[in-house]
Amino acid sequence: MIGLGLIGGSVLRAAKAAGRTVWGATASKEDADKARAEGFDITSVDEALGRDPEALVVLAVPLPALPDLLRKIPAGTRLTDVTSVKGPVHDAVHRYAKEVRFVGGHPMAGTSQSGWDAGSATLFQNAAWVVTPEEADDHLNDVMELALDLGAHVVPTTPEEHDEAVARISHLPHVMAAILAATGADGGPLAMALAAGSFGDGTRVAGSRPELVRAMCEGNRDALLMAVDDALGRLGAARGSLASTGGLAKTIEAGHEGRNTLVNQPQRTKITIDLTKPGALAALRNLGSRGGRVVGLNGSTATAETS
Amino acid sequence: MIGLGLIGGSVLRAAKAAGRTVWGATASKEDADKARAEGFDITSVDEALGRDPEALVVLAVPLPALPDLLRKIPAGTRLTDVTSVKGPVHDAVHRYAKEVRFVGGHPMAGTSQSGWDAGSATLFQNAAWVVTPEEADDHLNDVMELALDLGAHVVPTTPEEHDEAVARISHLPHVMAAILAATGADGGPLAMALAAGSFGDGTRVAGSRPELVRAMCEGNRDALLMAVDDALGRLGAARGSLASTGGLAKTIEAGHEGRNTLVNQPQRTKITIDLTKPGALAALRNLGSRGGRVVGLNGSTATAETS
């Protein structure tokens, strides 16, 4: 485990709790000391990377730290990551660490806290863990097994589809919460004294640390731009309708329908996917695109739920 | 009590629980039957309005029902309301019921449910109850006393300031939640499968009944337009910054600051306001503008908290 913040520290704890042999490294002396004090095997980055050529290496470092780190990774290393954006990570891996075996990953879990202290062994229970494989092979199976061991279900997709989806359901919500919080606070003390449920809910994630929100959103610039443009178009249309006819029917009804889509997730049925067959990669990606997920692995057969 | 939906039904229950003599009327036979079954004195609108010329009449009907109702109200009646917008209500009262004594009101409480069944005697505990008096007199005191009796604190302001504030902290959040929910759902099944905390919080109020959200937002058209324009400008600026420099610093930091303003409400100090003095009305409105509130009444002296 390289990087021992909220996510990396949680992976280390959860993997140990699942009975795996784990060790870690981090550039943060504070996080390293705390992890060591809790009995974890913490060493230098070079020593951690060199200890066992068969180990599964998990990167949990911010995007800007990746190039330097990737240059250090020995050829043949079995690699995954837990960063919130996938296109730029795949690009960096291809550019700086060509000889590694890589499957991208992104567990959809977190809190507004950060650092080792914020982590927990149960953070990934029932969470979606995205994987972005470039082929269906034993390394992919190992990465999926890690996610399943940690209590998550696995959502396979491409880096591009992942980045577009999280732009809409994770990064755009942060941008919208920031806009709403600033617009509300501009209403002055009376507005703040009257603010209740809807404003509180709508602005909650604006309480997260600004530098983390920025890193996450700015790291997904292209996909976020498309999502922001979509929201801008809808907000402009709402404005036009309110100004011209006084009505908001289309806006409010489309929003209600969207919320219903989230709340009433479709019924899922179990299927199996043979990961040794040609077309397994396409089958996995198709599963993810349709909102499905892998919930178990038995040798090279994946048990999946699809809608 | 005229109108026995969520708010009207809650006022009736809470006022009875506070030891007041209450009776009610509603156009909804269903709500009337249910209220009667719980032992409340429910009659026709005409009988309810005619029973006691000294009674405090509380209107809890939708905006479109006001003109017809206001025409029936006897001259000299002591009137208040609990509608979510104040400018249009004041205008309607001045137009259709000139000879009444009126103080506008708006308790900042509610749920996503509606109708008699959704109400409760404790709905207003610790809630802000806005009043929009046009003079400081014994009728204002009676309306404030009702709000205090029901467990609320009183925020005095003008109809215009109220409508601008709620546009920002109540109506805009509904519009933004609708935009976010629709934009997210457009991401398809993968996006919905990955949606977690930030999207769930940001879209929660989009689950409310569309016709109620529309009535609330469309009823405050002018003030909501200003708030939407403000949000559009900010979202456009975020878009421009992301496209040109890739940065979102200003957007995310302004949002974080706005959220902090909400969470870290200022320390309040107790003051008293003599309601018999000239300038009492201005003092009350000034209190509300600064985020303060009336928390008690002793004869014609108001105990208030200000920041």
Q: What is the pLDDT of residues A114-126, one digit of tens each?
A: 899 999 999 999 9
d(CA B131, CA B143): 8
CA distance B197 to B266: 28
- Give ranges for CATH 3.40.50.720 in chain A: 6-157+271-306
Looking only at the bridges linking them, the beta strands covering B56-59 and A301-306 are unpaired
For residue A194, which of B162, B302, B144 has the smallest C-alpha distance? B162
3-class DSSP assignment, residue A86 = coil
> Residues 6 or more apart from A12 whose CB is under 8 A from it?
A1, A4, A22, A24, A35, A40, A119
- As a whole number of Å, the end-to-end CA separation of chain B is 34
Round to whole Å and give the CA distance between B54 and A187. Answer: 38
Residue with tokens 């650092």: A115
Q: Is the pLDDT of residue A19 over 80?
A: yes
Q: Does the beta-carbon distance from A195 to B288 stay under 8 Å?
A: no
Position of tokens 């202290």? Answer: A117
Selected for mutation to probe chain B from A160, A161, A194, A290 (highest B CB count within 10 Å) is: A194
Q: Do B165 and A194 touch (CB under 8 A)?
A: yes
pLDDT the model gives residue A197: 86
- Name which of A173, A195, A246 is nearest B198 (Cβ-Cβ): A173
pLDDT at A34 (0 to 100): 97
Contact A248 B217 (CB under 8 A): yes
Question: In 10 A of CB A167, how many CB atoms?
Answer: 27
Nearest to A132 by CA among A172, A96, A86, A168: A86
By Cβ distance, the residue of B161, B194, B242 closest to A169 is: B194
Q: What is the pLDDT of residue B266?
A: 82
Any idea which residue has 């600051």 for tokens? B257
pLDDT at A100 over 80: yes
Selected residue of B124, B153, B192 to mutate for chain A interface (largest A Cβ count, 10 A): B192
- DSSP codes of every residue in chain B: -B--SHHHHHHHHHHHHTT----BB-S-HHHHHHHHHTT--B--HHHHHHS-TTSEEEE---GGGHHHHHHTSPTT-EEEE--S-SHHHHHHHHHH-TTSEEEEEEE----S--SGGG--TTTTTT-EEEEE-SS-SHHHHHHHHHHHHTT-EEEE--HHHHHHHHIIIIIHHHHHHHHHHHHHHTTHHHHHHH--HHHHHHHGGGGS-HHHHHHHHHTTHHHHHHHHHHHHHHHHHHHHHHHHTS--HHHHHHHHHHHHHHHSPPP-EEEEEETTSTTHHHHHHHHHHTT-EEEEEETTEEEEEE-
Superfamily of domain A6-157+271-306: NAD(P)-binding Rossmann-like Domain (3.40.50.720)
Q: Give the span between the Cα atoms of A299 and A218, in whole angstroms.
A: 39
- Contact, A96 vs A110, CB < 8 A? no
pLDDT tens string, chain B, 307 residues long: the values are: 999 999 999 999 999 999 999 999 999 999 999 999 999 999 999 999 999 999 999 999 988 899 999 999 999 999 999 998 999 999 999 999 989 999 999 999 877 678 999 999 999 999 999 999 999 999 999 999 999 999 999 999 999 999 999 999 999 999 999 999 999 999 999 999 999 789 999 999 999 989 989 988 999 999 999 999 999 999 999 999 999 999 999 999 999 999 999 999 888 899 999 999 999 999 999 999 999 999 999 999 999 999 8
Work out the average pLDDT over A169-198: 96
Phi, psi of B107 (to 5 degrees): -75, 130
Pick from B178, B193, B236: CB nearest A252: B178
Of all residues in chain A, the percent with pLDDT exceeding 90 is: 92
- Enumerate the residues of chain A whose CB falls inside 8 A of the CB of residue B243: 225
According to the model, what pLDDT value does residue B197 have? 86
In angstroms, the separation between the Cα of residue A68 and the nearest Cα of chain B is 22
Tell me the two tokens of residue A179.
């806009």
Read off the pLDDT of each residue in A76-104 and give the average, rounded to a whole number.
95
Candidates 3.40.50.720, 3.40.50.300, 3.40.50.2000, 3.40.710.10; correct CATH number of B6-157+272-306? 3.40.50.720
Q: Structure tokens of A277?
A: 């067959």
Smallest Cα distance from A212 to chain B, Å = 10
Structure confidence at residue A198 (pLDDT) = 92
> Nearest CA to CA, how far is A75 from chain B (Å)?
33
Query: What tens digit of pLDDT does each residue of B264-275 get?
Result: 988 889 999 999
CB-closest option in A179, A189, A261 to B251: A179
**What pLDDT score was predicted for residue B267?**
87
Report the largest interatomic distance among the alpha carbons of chain A, rounded to a whole angstrom. 69
Residue in A306, A303, A305 with CA at minimum distance from that of residue A141: A303
Domain A162-263 homologous superfamily, CATH: 6-phosphogluconate dehydrogenase C-terminal like domain (1.10.3660.10)
What's at B225, amino acid-wise?
A: L
B264 neighbors B131 (Cβ within 8 angstroms): no
The average confidence (pLDDT) of chain A is: 95
Instruction: Find out whether B7 and B119 touch, Cβ atoms under 8 Å.
Output: yes
Nearest to B172 by CA among B223, B244, B240, B96: B223
pLDDT at A212: 86
CATH 1.10.3660.10 domain extents, chain B: 162-263
Where, residue-wise, is CATH 3.40.50.720 in chain B?
6-157+272-306
Residue B113 has a pLDDT of 76
Pairwise CB contact (< 8 Å): B182 & A255? yes
ipTM exceeding 0.85, yes/no: yes
Q: How many CB pairs under 8 A join A and B?
A: 381
Nearest alpha carbon to residue A203 among B211, B260, B214, B282: B260
Of A34, A60, A100, A86, the closest CA to residue A285 belongs to A86
